[in-house]
Amino acid sequence: MPRYEKGLFIYNGNADQDQLKQELSQTIHVLTPYFKELNVIQTQSVEELEALCKEQGEFVDVLFILGGDGTIHECINSLAELEKKPVLGILPGGTCNDFSRVLGIPQNLTQAAEAIMKGQEVSVDAGKTESEYFINFWGIGLVTQTSFNIDEDQKSRLGVLSYFISALKTMTEARPFEFKIEVDGELLQGEAVMILIMNGRFIGTRQVPVPTIDLHDGQLDVLIIKNSNLTLFKELMTMKRPWADESRFQELHHRQGKKIQIEVDSSQEIDMDGEIKGETPASIEVLEDHFTFLSGGRTGFQLFTNDE
């Protein structure tokens, strides 16, 4: 007996056709036994993707997305205000696929399809700004500059490696900015090179080693990075130790909260889930259990390590 009545599988028809045929053959045959009806639709533009999610999202049990973090970001923004939202299934088809990693989904497509169909449905919080939603991270400073510094030709040739090349280049050019942040009424201010607000815990395929980050705890984790130096990396690695004393950190501030207000001395462009969207100032709040995803069979997100 099928697990679900109706499913919708969306993929980008503009991708390389040979690669696309291979990706579809790796996934569709795994998914179909779990559905009474599974429709497969290709899109040719972001606008078509958004319209499809809005028009059909309420009428399917599961919506599968074959794509990367940018595609997922556009989908969740199209679905976020629907009264009845479908369960979401991610099939990693991008460069970094960070949010699929948060959910414990294998990066091989056949294994990914098998894992999410045998896995569990999990509730996931969302971050909401004035006009956008995010599920993995919100950031300004270094993280945004890294996105701008990625060479698209290099990205197509080197994939994930291009992100690390860009990150190294960006660190040497980091420019600090003055900030004021209010986290649930507590005011923080000073100078930083990057501010991250985390719901998930992967950026550029690497895990942020902050043990309190959890997809469904009703909190967002605020990380304020003062300088990108050796002390910072030592403090980041120390955070996952039970004896860590964050009050003694020099280059890193960490807070958790539900409502966050951010102001900076000069306007900063914002990176949400790997997509450049808008500028500061910003107002952010957490929406508890706003989405439901198929996980890769694990629900203890706080236990994930870089090797998983």
- Catalytic sites, residue numbers: 275
Q: Alpha-carbon distance 127 to 165, whole Å?
A: 29
Residues listed for the chain: 308
Q: Are 51 and 77 in contact (CB under 8 A)?
A: no
Question: H or E element: which one contains 229?
Answer: none
* Cα 195 to Cα 55: distance, rounded to the nearest angstrom: 35
CA–CA dist 277, 266 (Å, integer): 16
Cβ(209)–Cβ(234) below 8 Å: no
- What per-residue string of b and e applies to 234-261 under the rule 16 or more CB within 10 Å gives b? ebbebbeeeeeeeeebebbbbbbbeebb
The residues that bridge with 183 in the sheet, in sequence order, are 186, 260
Smallest Cα–Cα separation from 277: which of 143, 175, 165, 149? 143
The helix or strand, by DSSP H or E, that contains position 276, with its residue range, turns out to be strand 275-279
Residue 23 neighbours by CB distance under 10 Å: 18
Name the nearest CA neighbour of 90 among 68, 111, 110: 68
Strand ranges (E), 33-112: 35-43, 62-67, 87-92
